[in-house]
Amino acid sequence: MEEELIRQDATGLAELIRQKELTARELVEKTIQRIERLNPLINAVVSTQYEEALAIAEQLDRQGSSDRPFAGVPILLKDLGQNQAGQLSTSGSRLFANYRASTTDNLVKRLEELGFVILGRTNTPEFGFKNISDSSLHGAVNLPRELTRNAGGSSGGAAAAVAAGLVPLAGASDGGGSIRIPASFNGLIGLKPSRGRVPVGPTSFRGWQGASSHFALTKSVRDTRNLLWHLQTCQLESPFPLPTLSQDSLYQPAKTSLKIAYFPQSPVGTQLSEAAQAAVAEVAQALRDLGHEVVELDDYPVDAVALLQSYYLMNSVETAQMFSEIEEGLGRQVTPDDMELMTWAIYRSGLTIPARVYSKTLQDWDRFSHQMAVFHETYDVLLTPTVADVAPLHGQLTPSDAVRQRLIQMDHYTMSQQQELIWEMFAPALAVTPITAHANLTGQPAISLPTYERSDGLPIGIQLMAAKGREDMLLSIAEQLDQTGAIKQLAVSQLL
């Protein structure tokens, strides 16, 4: 029975409950048992709310589930920016180890309306700054397929929870690749929606100036499509309203005459593994076989180095602003002892950046967005590796001792020196994930698909990026690849 349930995606589980082959309470109980048994091995779940979940499941069983598409399906939320009133919300930070949210975010409200039963929160790096999950508060998240490796970040706990079969999908967010990176490492599907597609607020509407989006990590194309259909909104009170996709466009039969560009290199000049290159080559050929026109690019469509420099600068400024609010709430200034060294360095660097420089940076984002809009007048989709290699070993991406010593002295450097040091600090991580931040700055949708596995069974994904608002195109291609068997299925035999 357990293996049968693990094989099911969220859509399938909801149907079993609707057909009364399973009750919501039974499913939640079995999920709790699996979390309690496996979480000590992977460290994906950092807080739970089992009593509330069981009570909600019983209520759904009494009321019926015909009007809620995911009624009774258990879900875990990310412990960062997915607040639920009264529940822990630590952001992976020691400063917030005991903080409980006072309001429920619009995204979480919508998930509740859809019938999901929230069981708790998943592990994330401090404030989501890393492409791995190893916060000093909660510890590292282990890759379910190989526990000596990190499950990725910042939605690492969410990815590990789905990959280990704890839940069929899990809430995630993506400010620079934080859905797609762990999707690639764990063999999952990771969609970052277009800017403005998914509900935000009421406490934060901009999310790193629109770079950050919320959605979920999934294991099936149909779950990804169905969840997007039910989550999407045109939120006029937000700064980035976006017209919703029609049901016809989102569920239309796949087209076989798209023009697809692919770039099988790192746009910032770092190295790609043989696995990453092979993954792109295989999918490029699969798309040709499906009837698409596939063209290799000689040059990346934007200046990826300049793009990432602007991304790091934005991160610095937004972190400085965040800590001004934190200090106001604490009634004191924060110190290096309050946070991890990386966080301290990013925070302090943000204090030296003039408003005119930040304004120019955001204008640069508009320029990058325009360049991509022009690019998509010729090419429907851009195909790249999601990441440069498989999941890193624990400790592999830690900055050197020399860099760490300089980070401690961040206040002694000029603004330009600080930004150079930030680049150096992120260099080991950038070598593994040199591509994903692009879509965050331009606001485009991008999806990581699990199409390749190394000989040792470790997965690596490919990324598809479309014009802003065209998630329908990405999901259409994903469905085509799925029908040909190109998308690797998450097998029960691979689970713990």
Query: Taking a C-beta distance cutoff of 8 angstroms, is the pair 261, 383 a contact?
Result: yes
Q: Tell me: pLDDT of 10 over 90.
A: yes
Q: Is the pTM of this model over 0.85?
A: yes
Sequence letter at residue 54: L
Question: Catalytic annotation on 130?
Answer: no
**CA triple 460-462-468, angle to 5 deg:** 145
Which contiguous run of DSSP H or E holds residue 50?
A: helix 50-63
User: Which helix (H) or strand (E) is 13 found in, with range?
Assistant: helix 10-18
Length reported for the chain? 496
192 catalytic, yes or no? no
Which of these is catalytic: 89, 91, 93, 178?
A: 178
* Arithmetic mean of pLDDT over the chain: 96
pLDDT by residue (tens digit) across 191-226?
A: 999 999 999 999 889 999 999 999 999 999 999 999
Helix or strand run (H / E) with residue 170: strand 170-174
pLDDT recorded at residue 495: 58
CATH code for the structural domain at 2-253: 3.90.1300.10
Q: Report helix, strand or coil for 258.
A: coil
Set 78, 130, 192, 468: catalytic member:
78
> What are the tens digits of pLDDT across the range 340-382?
999 999 999 999 999 999 999 999 999 999 999 999 999 999 9
What are 439-450's pLDDT values in tens digits? 999 999 999 999
Q: Do 186 and 144 meet the contact criterion of CB atoms below 8 Å apart?
A: yes
Per-residue confidence band for 434, with pLDDT thresholds at 50, 70 and 90: very high
Spot the catalytic one: 135, 154, 184, 238.
Answer: 154
Going by pLDDT thresholds of 50, 70 and 90, the confidence category of residue 494 is: low
Q: Other C-beta atoms within 10 Å of 169: how many?
A: 29
Which of the four pLDDT bands, split at 50, 70 and 90, describes residue 86?
very high
Amino acid identity, residue 214?
A: H
pLDDT tens digit sequence for 181-193:
999 999 999 999 9
Does 492 score more than 70 pLDDT? no
| Residue 400 pLDDT grade (very low, low, confident, very high; cuts 50, 70, 90) | very high
Window from 61-70, 144-153, 300-309 with minimum mean pLDDT: 61-70
pLDDT at 2: 78
Can you read off the two tokens belonging to residue 57?
A: 């499941």
User: What would the pLDDT profile of 261-300 be if each residue is shown by its tens digit?
Assistant: 999 999 999 999 999 999 999 999 999 999 999 999 999 9
Predicted confidence (pLDDT) at residue 132 exceeds the cutoff of 60? yes
Per-residue pLDDT at 491 = 62
Q: DSSP per residue over 184-203, as a string? A: HHHT-EEEEPPTTSS---SS
Annotated active-site residue 360? The verdict is no
What would the pLDDT profile of 309-342 be if each residue is shown by its tens digit?
A: 999 999 999 999 999 999 999 999 999 999 999 9
DSSP string, 463-479: EEEESTT-HHHHHHHHH
What percent of the chain clears pLDDT 90, i.e. is strictly above it? 95
